[in-house]
Amino acid sequence: MSKDIRYIKGVGEKRAELFEKKGIRTVEDLLYYFPRSHEDRSEMKEIADCAEGETVCVSVTVFSPVSDVRVRRNLLVSTMIVSDQTGALNVVWYNNKYVKGQFFTGDEYILYGRITRSRGKKEMVNPVFEKKGSERFTGKIVPLYPLTEGLTQKILQSAMELALKEAGRLDEYIPAEIRDRYKIAELNYAMKNIHFPDDFESYNIARERFVFEELLILQLALSQHRDENMNQSGIVFSDVKCVRTFTDTLPFPLTNAQKRVLNEIMRDCKSGGVMNRLVQGDVGSGKTAVAAAAIYAAVKNGHQAAMMAPTEILAAQHAETLAGFFKDAGIKVALLNGSMKAKDKKLVYDMMLTGEADVVVGTHAIIQDKAEFNDLALVVADEQHRFGVEQRAKLAAKGSNPHMLIMSATPIPRTLALILYGDLDISVIDELPPGRKPVKTYAVGESMRKRVFAFLGKNVNAGMQAYVVCPLVEETEKSDLQNAEELCRKLQNAFPSFKVGLMHGRMKPKMKEEIMNEFVSGEIKILVSTTVIEVGVNVPNANMMIIENAERFGLSQLHQLRGRVGRGGEQAYCILIAHGNNEVTKKRMETMTISNDGFYISEQDLKLRGPGDFFGTRQHGLPEMKIANLFEDRDILAISQQAAKSILEEDPLLVSEKYKGLRRRAEKIIAGGIVMN
């Protein structure tokens, strides 16, 4: 299994480089490179029975060999006639100089391809062909793999066939009792039938095995990682009741959900272990107040706290909010950003090191080598998926195993969250504060644009501000998407008395900050933007969000964008301008108009689009799923969770002989450094 791929017949050095692009280096890597689909080439038909539009296999004899016609300089047409006892068939290739001289009259071949008609005669264009008697990829069900330039299906299919022979009998690593309990196929049967199944039922049995295996191993790996974290001793907050003093000073009461989550955080902080907790909450559910309470407890227990945000403007906003919360509590909040002048940075560094700064809020500047804390006990990371494993580890290294609290405004169904954040404990704030008005959402077509712009004008004239979000920055020949720059010009012409700003991903960070600051201050009234506004900036005066080409965004992304408005007391509106009338688009837009519940929306998003689009799995620090689909395979996910639980109850560290194969595979995932985001 560990044999280098280049030593497989037909691969060699050059092709090994192409396989490398797909992450395939060994026989084992190749065997675990699963097909994206299969083609049923098992049904053989006689020519007379072939209908136009059918894709079929035919067993034929060459009637007249290949002849070439050069139609024009860049078009070579090669044709031959084949027959069986029921009729004749024209075979055509375009720009394939290699077929000439391959076929001789009387030779017997199996052809596989689509039947078309030309001038009243049946025809097959660019078929797969194999000499009768030495068939490998016709007359059976054949795998189709994801390709890269230079790697053809034939190269991959041949390599896979040889790899299966090369590997011989594989060592099973899921114990028989687990397989029997959950009705999971044995490894050798599954490996053969995932690639070259005898029939589609055999393929489904094999696929179920590998989905179960992938999800089981991932959960075991996450559990191992989590145990490592839990076994570390953490800083003990001996006084957690002090939090009441803070919450009593807030100008609003905490919701029951906020209280519950705060209790979970405090329980972790006084436990003697290290907290690694994710707080999930919908936009506006009050995550910041909960984080502030935890920070307050850290400082009142004699330590420092840090809060990390993905952008400078968001960091500045958090620093201002916390300073407001703590103004009467004697807690000093410092801001540390990359764009600060050197002397200002040095001042903050000194305050951090001496302990004068109780709380430091900043961007990645916090994890630079020069930034040292006196006694860091709590780290809060905002919008967790923006930070990778290295950054989180670097931040943790600034203290002596500080507690880690990660805030995410991307609601994810709980079954999925257990997989995505298996190394974290999960808290959910599933209740919005009373009195918050839901954003009124409407989905409209292009024909309503005039009315939408009129409504926009009415709101801006009344002193409000608006976002207009586009999916692309500049027009390309291939794209019909609304163009942000063009739209900005149109809006400026339509509303000459208001300043219209433009912000997109290709701008330098400093430029983005300047534009966003102008919007926050109210100088810019309408901000045309690509999705760079998605992360959390608070502009209470913005009450309107127009989203162009809304069908191009995921529902969860639309929900995040919608959460940027309605943060003041005014009624807020979100208008989705969608193109395309297919059923999925209609259903998705309808979901947005009927619900403001992020958890419900994320469920629908998964159902309608699947997890690959729902979020780039990579951004969550999770290994890319080779075969499992986290939504469609929820039944298998449930049984794999049961299996992982029973295995870990029996052998938490997977040290027994019985589980050594599973342990090896789990360690492989951890070694990839991708489990902890």
For the beta carbon of residue 242, count every other beta carbon within 10 angstroms.
16
The 3-state DSSP class for residue 132 equals: coil
Q: Which CATH superfamily is domain 243-429 in?
A: P-loop containing nucleotide triphosphate hydrolases (3.40.50.300)
Closest CA to 615 of 397, 421, 385: 385
Phi, psi of 583 (to 5 degrees): -60, -40
Cβ-contact 92, 66 below 8 angstroms: no
Cβ-contact 293, 246 below 8 angstroms: yes
pLDDT of residue 314: 82
Closest CA to 639 of 219, 297, 100, 307: 219
pLDDT of residue 671: 59
pLDDT of residue 677: 32
Closest CA to 563 of 280, 282, 279, 283: 283
Domains 1-40+146-168 and 440-595 share a fold: no
pLDDT of residue 634: 77
Q: Which residues contact 593 (CB under 8 A, 6 or more apart)?
A: 441, 442, 443, 576
Strand partners, 573: 440, 544
pLDDT of residue 631: 67
Taking only the tens place, the pLDDT of each residue in 320-336 is: 999 999 999 999 999 99
Closest CA to 418 of 633, 630, 629: 630
For domain 1-40+146-168, the question of CATH label 2.60.40 is answered with no
Residue tagged 């045309």 (tokens)? 528
pLDDT of residue 278: 87
Question: If you classify domain 440-595 with CATH, what class do you get?
Answer: alpha beta
- Average pLDDT along the chain, 677 residues, taken 10 residues at a time: 83 87 89 92 92 94 94 92 95 92 93 93 94 89 89 90 90 94 96 94 96 91 67 86 93 93 96 88 87 97 92 86 93 92 94 96 86 93 61 75 86 69 79 83 93 94 93 49 78 93 80 86 92 65 92 84 83 92 86 89 72 42 69 83 91 91 83 44
pLDDT of residue 676: 33
pTM above 0.85, yes or no: no
Tokens linked to 536: 């959390």
The whole-chain average pLDDT of the chain stands at: 86
pLDDT of residue 149: 84
Cβ-contact 187, 615 below 8 angstroms: no
pLDDT of residue 532: 57
What is the H or E stretch that residue 459 is in? helix 449-461
Residue tagged 């100008």 (tokens)? 251
Sequence ranges of the domains in the chain: 1-40+146-168, 43-139, 243-429, 440-595
Cα separation, 306 vs 358, in Å, equals 9
Percentages helix, strand, coil for the chain (3-state, rounded to 5) are: 40, 20, 40
Taking only the tens place, the pLDDT of each residue in 241-293 is: 999 999 999 988 999 999 999 999 999 999 988 898 889 888 778 899 999 99
Cβ-contact 206, 194 below 8 angstroms: yes
pLDDT of residue 612: 46
**What SS3 string covers 47-89?**
HHHCCCCCEEEEEEEEEEEEEEEEEECCEEEEEEEEEECCEEE
pLDDT of residue 472: 62
Cα separation, 355 vs 350, in Å, equals 8
What is the H or E stretch that residue 392 is in? helix 389-396
**Residue 454, CA atoms < 13 Å, CB-side half-sphere:** 4
Q: Which residues contact 420 (CB under 8 A, 6 or more apart)?
A: 412, 620, 622
Q: Which DSSP category does 175 fall into?
A: -
pLDDT of residue 330: 92
Q: Which DSSP category does 532 fall into?
A: G
CATH annotation of 43-139: 2.40.50.140
Cβ-contact 280, 411 below 8 angstroms: yes
